[in-house]
Structure 1
Amino acid sequence: MSNPSYILDEKLLASNGNRFANYIIDIIAIVALIFALSFFLALFAVFLGLNELFYWLGHLSDLEGQLIFIVVSIFYYLFVEGIFGRSLGKLITGTIVVDENGEKPPFGTIFKRTLCRLIPFDGLSFLGSRGWHDSISETYVVNKKDLEEELKTFHEFNLIGSSEVI
């Protein structure tokens, strides 16, 4: 007897409203993280008398600021989605990143997904379809509670007729 794999049902996909909320919440979280890191770096510079570092922090160019935002964004998404399968935005909206089988994607897929976020206008690409960082990395953002119910039903259905081994 074969062991069928669950294939994600498109009805579980997060709404565009949830996706947009995820985006806004995550941008706010990244900016807050940058602010916190800058604050502690400035304290570090003041206490150790690193005046050049303190001056640099106060006079960042636009390019330096954008590069810092990109680097922190990459680490943020790699860390939270790589470990938890969800970012702060997804946690708040009750959504999660999964593969086509409803499982947590491997780290390599999360890395690919994160790099795809660097594509210009990717943050708005989900408004017309699934989103570039989803489609390119073959991941899905779904409602976590609905997915859990669907997986439970799928696995219970597959147990019907199977013999119990004692």
Structure 2
Amino acid sequence: MLDNTIQITEDVLASKNMRFVNYIIDLVAQYAIIYSLAYLFFYIGEFTGYYGLADFWNGLSNIEDYIVSYTIMFIYFFLMEAFTFRTLGKYVTKTKVVLDDGQDPTYQDVLKRSFCRMIPFDALSFLGTIGKGWHDSISSTYVVDIGRFEAKKKSFSELDQIGVSQDI
């Protein structure tokens, strides 16, 4: 195990409850971004006298609304997970995204994961026994409980050190 990888097993995975809390917190964060943009566009109009952005925002059709919402969702998840491997929900529940070998995901992995979130009914994919979503399966990523993951990683590291001579 000298390459510092571990096999992800069910004992380190985030529970369904943690994943649900992640979902709710991240959904609230996305709504906060959307409402913040609406207020920003309104206040830009108040200060400049040009209400074009606010009128555009308030006049979105259903299709345009979906496009804007999914774009914000994609940007939120991609930026958060690409740079910190966590979202606001994952910070609260002390979970993070890792690859199937325990390493941090690359930008391409996070990009694939973020695109897969746009699959219709992706949220329903958590109803299975393990509670692994399609965006996890397709991108070969896992959401792990950081405490249990780090403990397992440490135990594997300590096992690697057995029989290794240490120069004094």
CA contact (8 A) 2:125 2:132 kept: yes
Matches within 5 A, 1:37-116: 37-116=37-116
C-alpha distance after superposition, 1:13-49 (max 9, x if no partner): 1111111111111111100111112211221233222
Matched residues, number: 165
CA contact (8 A) 2:30 2:72 kept: yes
CA contact (8 A) 1:42 1:57 kept: no
Identify the residue that residue 119 of structure 1 maps to in structure 2: 119
Unaligned runs of 5+ in 1: none
2:40 maps to a residue whose letter is F
- 1:157 and 2:156 correspond: no
Identify the residue that residue 134 of structure 1 maps to in structure 2: 136
Unaligned runs of 5+ in 2: none
The percent identity for this pair of structures is 39
CA contact (8 A) 2:26 2:87 kept: yes
1:131 maps to a residue whose letter is G
The 10-residue stretch of structure 1 (44-53 or 127-136) with the greater mean CA deviation from structure 2:
44-53
The 10-residue stretch of structure 1 (96-105 or 112-121) with the greater mean CA deviation from structure 2:
96-105
CA contact (8 A) 1:46 1:54 kept: no
CA contact (8 A) 2:122 2:133 kept: yes
Distance in 1 between the 2:53 and 2:10 partners?
50
SS at match of 1:126: helix
4+ residue segments displaced more than 3 Å: none
1:157 maps to a residue whose letter is L
Distance in 1 between the 2:58 and 2:46 partners?
12
The offset of 1:124, in angstroms, is 2.2
The 10-residue stretch of structure 1 (124-133 or 28-37) with the greater mean CA deviation from structure 2:
124-133
- TM-score scaled to structure 2, two decimals? 0.91
